[in-house]
Amino acid sequence: MTTLPENLFNDLLENAVTKLVKEKLELLMREEIKNFMHVEQEGQRNSRNGYYERTYDTRHGKIDDLKVPRDRNGNFQTQLFEPYQRREGWLEEAIIHMYKGGMSTREVAKFIESMFGSQYSPTTISNITQTVMEDIEEWQKRPLEKRYSVIYLDGLYVKLKRDTVSSEAVYLAMGIDEKGYRQILGFYVGGHESSNGWREVLKDLKKRGATDVLLGVFDGLPGLEEAFHEIYPQADVQHCIVHKVRSTFPKIRVSDKTEFLTDLKCVYNAIDGDVARAVFDGFKAKWSKQYPKEVKSWEEQLPTLLTFYKYPPLTWPAIYTSNPIERTNKELRKRLKPMNSLTNIEAAEKIIYLQALDYNEKWYGRAIRGFVDPDTKAAFEKMYTGRYSSALN
């Protein structure tokens, strides 16, 4: 028995599949126009009027001579595709996913041409991904939950082209609601990170329904704490301990680093807030002479660095640091990095939005450990009631 070469066998198989798809599409359209003439055109002076041929790209191959039925009055339109649609929607979806993965419009165009033989200019690819902008606008305006136990804030920078290429901020807000579910609440692109920029972000979150917030977790950007309290005066602030340790670390001599940081760790690993403050007094007595500025900086910020002790112990690992949102930002940077510099704000928004959707879908229905514990829920309910019920009176 003669064996066909593999490439010839694959070509024959592909042609057979494409032919089968063509036959099935034409069969469906014949049934469509038959029903159309008998039901919708009954009693009207109209009749079938043969076919016209058109090309149509499918995931199984390109059909060059698809026969589309027509009526004499030109009223019939198949429901299988739009009048000027030349390809299945799967290709648009594939293009959007490749774009989301960090490929530039030029790279996507080259890939589509190499895979399908279809020529797409970078402008065409950009136009296809442009449909995402409508979804972004709707997503950014979507209503939020009323209650959030925690809101994390963090920014990253992305290179954007305007007249020149420069780094601009992406403001990212993540929340854990009263059920313990995490989600990205919103992102805002443009400008340089500032307390005024964050104030506008927080105003938007509150406007969209997030009115009752217990805790804000973020780094020590000057003015951010004041901006947060301006919008959420009943909420607490937790400054990220990990950020604080990182900023202190370079200022300590190599010979002292291990001992200094071990002593510091005993402060925020204490069993409760009172013990933590007592441990800090010992830390201060031991190190303030050698490192007066560093110890003073910790002492001044201690109230907001130890805020987490006011909350249920099972939630401490999730709230004493902004690491949860930093990990998300790290992934976003990976997605954005291959693109070097983006053509405009819209290009950045498309990628970040698509990635945010993936995160929210992945986190959907998966409560954060510690937040679903009955004692934790009871403690949070008491906090919500105490802060926000009284605020209404």
Task: Write the pLDDT tens digit of every residue in 162-209.
Answer: 777 788 888 999 999 999 999 999 999 888 889 999 999 999 999 999
* pLDDT for residue 279: 97
* 330 contacts 149 by C-beta, under 8 angstroms: no
Least confident of 94-103, 211-220, 263-272, 345-354: 94-103
* 354 contacts 100 by C-beta, under 8 angstroms: yes
Q: Tokens for 339? A: 């693109």
- On the question of pLDDT at 65 being above 80, the answer is yes
* pLDDT for residue 123: 65
* pLDDT for residue 45: 82
Query: 393 Cβ partners below 8 Å, 6+ apart?
Result: none
The overall average pLDDT reported for the chain is 84
Q: Residue 366: pLDDT band by 50, 70, 90 thresholds? A: confident
Q: Tokens for 277? A: 């403050």
State the angle between helix axes of 195-207 and 224-231 in degrees (0 to 180), rounded to the nearest 10: 20
Q: What angle do CA 354, 205, 228 make, to 5 degrees?
A: 120
Query: 230 Cβ partners below 8 Å, 6+ apart?
Result: 199, 202
* 152 contacts 173 by C-beta, under 8 angstroms: yes
For 322-325, the CB contacts below 8 A with 24+ separation are 322/152, 322/153, 322/154, 322/217, 322/218, 322/219, 322/240, 322/242, 322/243, 323/240, 323/242, 324/152, 324/174, 324/182, 325/152, 325/153, 325/154, 325/172, 325/174, 325/217
Phi and psi, residue 360, nearest 5°: -65, -35
% of the chain with per-residue pLDDT over 70: 78
Which residues sit opposite 218 in a β-bridge? 239
Q: Are strands 147-161 and 212-218 parallel, antiparallel or unpaired?
A: parallel
Which residues sit opposite 68 in a β-bridge? 52
Which residues sit opposite 152 in a β-bridge? 174, 217
Quote the CA–CA distance of 26 and 61 in Å, as a whole number: 16
Quote the CA–CA distance of 331 and 336 in Å, as a whole number: 9
Q: Produce one character per residue of 4-37: b if its CB has 16 or more CB atoms within 10 Å, e if not.
A: eeeeeeeeeeeeeebeebbeebbeebeebbeebb
* pLDDT for residue 137: 85
Place of tokens 């933590």: 276
* pLDDT for residue 47: 86
Q: Are strands 147-161 and 165-177 parallel, antiparallel or unpaired?
A: antiparallel
> 300: number of CA atoms within 13 Å, CB side?
8
* pLDDT for residue 238: 97
- On the question of pLDDT at 363 being above 80, the answer is yes
- On the question of pLDDT at 87 being above 60, the answer is no
Which range, 3-17, 150-164, 302-316, is most confident? 302-316
Q: Produce one character per residue of 210-232: b if its CB has 16 or more CB atoms within 10 Å, e if not.
A: bbbbbbbbbbebeebbebbeebb
Give 275-329 pLDDT, tens digit per residue: 999 999 999 999 999 999 999 999 999 999 999 999 999 999 999 999 888 888 8
